[in-house]
Amino acid sequence: MNPNLTSKFIDIQNVEQTFKTPKGSFQALRDIDLSVAKGEFVALIGHSGCGKSTLLNLIAGLTRPTHGVLLCADREIAGPGPERAVVFQNHSLLPWLTCHENVHLGVERVFGKAEGKAQLKSRTEAALALVGLTAAAHKRPGEISGGMKQRVGIARALAMEPKVLLMDEPFGALDALTRARLQDELLAIVQRTHSTVVMVTHDVDEAVLLSDRIVMMTNGPSATIGEILRIDLARPRNRVELAEDRDYVHYRKAVIDFLYTRQGHVEKAAA
């Protein structure tokens, strides 16, 4: 296999994103150069308005960059697709379909041409089992809790066996306890599936606990990558043990230092 491919599975080259607004053009991102290796877990962190969701949308292909190019597995990202599955902040489950049908929608799209109904069904059930929701398969999103809805969203994304899993603050809308539980589940799933993950978050602990590298972004507008911190904590990671781990505390401090000391003055920048 092309060695470049493994280390630069996602390759973002010199990307700039400018939006045209009624008040003139607004530069959200500039000079973004980033590469993500296969099987790596990268967290994007920064204050609100630093363009992390914009960057994720660019990787997803939901928007095209004004300047620069994004590559995934050596091919230009020209549009959205199931190989770069997205887990949205608002689960985005279709409320008139059951959980099973929601996941099945993605499965059918990706594997429908090659496989028969029975196989698609077993794929869907496997995905729901992966997130521990076999019991809720025939319930509608309106009948399950927020944490469960988010898990179905993850199941739907993973069921499509994407090359990359993109997550936009997936646990942001949940309470702290549910969030902790889902983070642990995500760790276990990623360990098993060896997925490449890019996750947007504003939670420092989440970023340090889950990721291999943290990409810290400067404040917007015209945000860019401030620093990249490599997290060398052994896997599998246990949050209770890590709470007292010296390295964990050190990494955490580094991120907080970046966010609150060096990029601290968000209100002034926004004004």
85 binds other proteins, rule: CB under 8 A = yes
CA distance 157 to 166: 9
> What x-and-dash track marks residues 123-142 binding other proteins by CB under 8 A?
-----------------x-x
Binders of other proteins in range 91-120 (CB under 8 A): 92, 94-97, 105-106, 109
Report the residue from 65, 82, 147, 220 that binds other proteins according to the rule CB under 8 A.
82
Token pair, residue 70, equals 């994004």
Among 44, 60, 198, 214, binds other proteins (CB under 8 A): 60
DSSP 112: T
86 binds other proteins (CB under 8 A): yes
Shortest distance (Å) from residue 88 CB to other proteins: 6
The CA distance from 6 to 116, in Å, is: 32
Q: How many residues contact other proteins, by CB under 8 A?
A: 22
By the rule CB under 8 A, 78 interacts with other proteins = no
Closest CA to 154 of 83, 103, 82, 87: 87
Q: Which residues of 13-44 are buried (b: 16+ CB within 10 A; e: fewer)?
A: eebbbbeeeeeeeebbbbebebebebebbbbb
Kindly state the tokens that stand for 60.
């997803």
Q: Does residue number 90 form part of the binding site for other proteins (CB under 8 A)?
A: yes
What H or E segment, with its residue span, contains residue 83?
none
φ, ψ for residue 235, nearest 5 deg: -105, 150
User: Of residues 49, 81, 146, 172, which one binds other proteins by CB under 8 A?
Assistant: 81
Helix 146-159 to helix 176-193 angle (10° resolution) is 20
Position among 16, 49, 62, 254 found at the interface with other proteins (CB under 8 A):
62
- 154: number of Cβ within 10 Å: 25
Pick from 84, 100, 179, 252: which binds other proteins (CB under 8 A)? 84
Q: What is the largest CA-CA distance in the chain?
A: 58
Shortest Å, Cβ 27 to other proteins: 23
* Binding flag, residue 19, other proteins (CB under 8 A): no
CB of 199 to other proteins, least distance (A): 16
Rule CB under 8 A: which residues touch other proteins? 60, 62, 79-82, 84-86, 88, 90, 92, 94-97, 105-106, 109, 140, 142, 160
